[in-house]
Chains A and B, each alone.
Chain A
Amino acid sequence: MNEERYAYRIRQALNFGLKDVPPAATRRLEAARHLALAKQKQAVPQMVPATAGAPSFWSGSRAIYAKQTLAALALLLGMWISFYWHSVQYVNELEQVDSALLTDELPPDAFLDNDFFEWLKDDSSAE
């Protein structure tokens, strides 16, 4: 027996029998269909970044999360670099002041002496 052919004949018989569905049942099925269509879930429009192009690894909701994570990481990296750069500059300035102080003829204790500042004032006013 050819299964496919036999099944096809049964299918024909079943299709033929469809017209015998009672009118009351047909009406109720139609009403159910209208009800279902009225309640149909609509596809929610999603925000798509302007850079989104042809489908690739960088498309889909996962890619959006990955991009957001990458952006946050880049921001953190930028902040760390900025902080590091400023701290290095600050240390360099301190080093310069310290080295100037140490290489000067004046002893460092002189700067802690109030009389010294008084002398400086007097000295500048004398000039």
Chain B
Amino acid sequence: MESVERRAFKQAIFAVRDEEAALDIVQDAMLKLAEKYGDRPDDEYPMLFQRILQNTIRDYYRRSKVRSMWTTLLSAFTPDDEDDYDPLETLAADEDETGPRTPESKLQQAQTLNLIDDEIKKLPARQREAFLMRYWEDMDVAETAAAMGCSEGSVKTHCSRATHALAAALSARGIKL
């Protein structure tokens, strides 16, 4: 359970790039799963949870879009979250939170992980969803398609494109996996 909720938290961070919002999203998704689908068979939980999680993330986007529209109307000085996003800031913030690790190898490892996180965040939303569900959540193509509400062919295409995009971006940044 712990690893599931941590993965969900990271998925939400990849999508919304805000830790507090990500925590709210995971909490909402957990509550919705428990309240509405708590009586379902255990093997349906991963797919249902992913579906709820992605829907909650989309709801967050919608709400923040409406909120930013109103704040833009009310104040011209309010910065737009998405346009002003700087991956380097996140990278620095992440390093501050985890704290500098003394051995050089660990630092390099952390930087590599941050770069991978960074590139995953940059993927188009549907590709990221498909890639993470398929390869991180270990869901098969049919389950991923059911959770995403699309065809199995689309899942395969999204996964393939995401993998190629990640490979190209990471090798451009000098990371060989």
Contacts and interface: CB of A to CB of B under 8 A. Distances in A.
B125 interface: no
Interface residues of A, number: 33
A3 B37 CA distance: 34
B35 A32 contact: no
A16 interface: yes
Contacts, number: 110
How many residues of B sit at the interface, in one of the four size bands? 35 or more
B30 A33 contact: yes
Nearest to A22: B97
Main SS class of interface, A: helix
Interface string A50-82: 000000000000000000000000000000000
Contact of A36 (B34, B159, B177): B34
Interface string B125-163: 000000100111000000000000000000000011001
A119 interface: no
A11 B110 contact: no
A60 to B, nearest CB: 15
12 contacts: A3-B160, A6-B167, A14-B116, A17-B117, A20-B110, A21-B10, A30-B2, A32-B26, A33-B1, A36-B34, A39-B38, A41-B37
Interface of A: 1, 3, 6-11, 13-18, 20-22, 25-26, 28-30, 32-33, 35-37, 39-44
